[in-house]
A and B are shown apart, each in its own frame.
Chain A
């Protein structure tokens, strides 16, 4: 009896110890869920409005996003001159298509979408898949305790080479990011808000509502991505086939 009690006590202690120290992979998976990588079997949809401001020039484009697994389809809905422009994300490959083009164009996730936003910023984020992460410390950001992670790209075909990422310990939400060049210089910074809610398996979890990206060298160059109406949705696999883009 005493031995059994001791064993149970040890198990609880070990269990607690393990629960207190998640791996970087676990942290990233949880954070990714709230940024579009939720494992909803049939798919998710949301809208994103990208607004860029650089000095006196401003631009706004709205997109409808459909996501299923590692695939995503982003279609511009406004303004009129951009309407119908489509980006298809097949795993790490991105295709761009617009009405009238005879074939889609393979583009890079690193390419500029608009302002400070890269193409890879508007679709779902999958840092757990794309980056090797390491917890390098803890920080307090806006009163929240966070893990500070250093992420290095696993392949060249991802949006950024290196990311410094702060994830809140309480909610496991990515709060702040710094995007670095290969040599380690910060060239962009981003902050995130999570005022949306998403449902999965009967439970609700926070979903990203805003991402603000700022040029590290020019504080006047700011791009805001507003995420709206995230919801579970049914998406056929066929819509994520590049050959169907033209039809």
Chain B
């Protein structure tokens, strides 16, 4: 009986081709729009998530002193992690199978000089051994391959620690007049500038890769160290592109005369199980270091660009999804209503030869389902073709916080497509059920005579 009902449903669908086509095209167009929006959202989410996790050193879990996110910049010494706390974190992470790696980070402000002028900087001190693994992580390179385009020079971890290698943002390097990196000036000694106001002074700034970093030490005096400019990078934001420095954490600790760090970042093998790892870590640290905050990377204080951007995109995609849902519901409801009214005598005839209400309802629902299914497939194919075509164009866009911008690319995701198709199918079935329920409940005599119209 089911197989024959299905055959009947498919045949009925083809009886009114125009209506079926019109309804199907509306659903297909809506699903195409949804797919493109979802494909864009998925790609942006992956790009920003991996950029945040790896390039911005946030990790999947961040451990800070309590209130450090608000107070560290004002009272760094008080809100930094002490050696004891760092050791407690190391001990707590031991044995957690989902942890891939951990890294210590220190941030500070200061002045960077070229022998004549100084400019403010904000430095991030990184664990060199961890930094190489973070920056070469497959997830980062898969979704942010553009990142290497906006870096010039050798990474700081390829140099001996005592050399004081520093990577400078493009704007800061320009302000300092550092036009060449260490590699381009190999073997060159620092060039002393006798007269900073001389016409050739700017040229002399670029004659060596030597810079001086000065900062207030955490024990209250002034500290200064040499640095060697080895790499230039872009931060993607004008404000930070004129001030950012990346250097070895040991070098920065020496400058500040401290052994403390700002935070510890933890990367997971399986980010999907972050909640469990987070809970376990919190539970362990509650006993050994209760003054710490253990935060997921999705906390908007750790990932403001990711959180802000994705909130907007989710709202946008959600809106498009709602519009699609309304299109599906109204299209199917309209089509089903018109069909059932026109075929009410046919329904009466089916009832009179023994088809029960449930079977007739199933007949119309199957018609709606086939129409929706065919429309979704058409929409998906059209969506894939459109995404593929736009990907080939390599259109560049500049979301905030992403160095050098990214290509407008779409990444279709099978799960999202199937979930969307399932929802559309359910909506289609539901709309049909509502449309036909009333008519199917009529008595046979009314249906056959057409009196209920």
Contacts and interface: CB of A to CB of B under 8 A. Distances in A.
Interface string B93-124: 00000000000000000010111111000000
Interface in B114-152: 114-118
B220 A105 contact: no
Given A101-B212, A102-B210, A102-B226, A61 B221 contact: yes
B92 interface: no
B406 interface: no
B212 A103 contact: yes
A106 B116 contact: yes
A48 B12 CA distance: 101
Contacts of A106: 113, 116-118
Contacts of A134: none
Interface residues of A, number: 26
A191 interface: no
B224 A105 contact: yes
Given A96-B214, A243-B194, A246-B192, A104 B222 contact: no
B399 interface: no
Contacts of A115: 220
A112 B219 CA distance: 12
Contact of B224 (A57, A59, A96): A96
A96 B222 contact: yes
A49 to B, nearest CB: 14
Interface in A34-68: 52, 54, 57, 59, 61
A189 B341 CA distance: 90
Max chain B CB contacts within 10 Å: which of A105, A106, A114, A115?
A: A105
B364 to A, nearest CB: 76
Contacts of A100: 226
B223 to A, nearest CB: 8
Given A96-B214, A106-B118, A107-B111, A82 B221 contact: yes
A93 B374 CA distance: 77
Interface string A57-84: 1010100000000000000000001100
B153 interface: no
Nearest to A246: B192
Nearest to A106: B118
A224 to B, nearest CB: 14
Interface of A: 52, 54, 57, 59, 61, 81-82, 85, 96-98, 100-107, 111-115, 243, 246
Interface of B: 111, 113-118, 190, 192, 194, 210, 212, 214, 216, 219-222, 224-226, 257
14 contacts: A59-B219, A59-B220, A96-B224, A97-B224, A100-B226, A104-B115, A105-B111, A105-B212, A106-B113, A106-B116, A107-B111, A107-B222, A112-B216, A112-B222
**Nearest 9 Cβ contacts at the A-B interface:** A103-B115, A105-B113, A102-B190, A105-B214, A59-B220, A105-B212, A106-B118, A102-B226, A114-B220
Given A85-B222, A103-B113, A114-B220, 19 more contacts: A54-B220, A57-B220, A59-B219, A81-B257, A82-B221, A98-B224, A100-B226, A101-B212, A102-B212, A103-B114, A103-B210, A103-B212, A104-B212, A105-B212, A106-B116, A112-B216, A113-B222, A243-B194, A246-B192
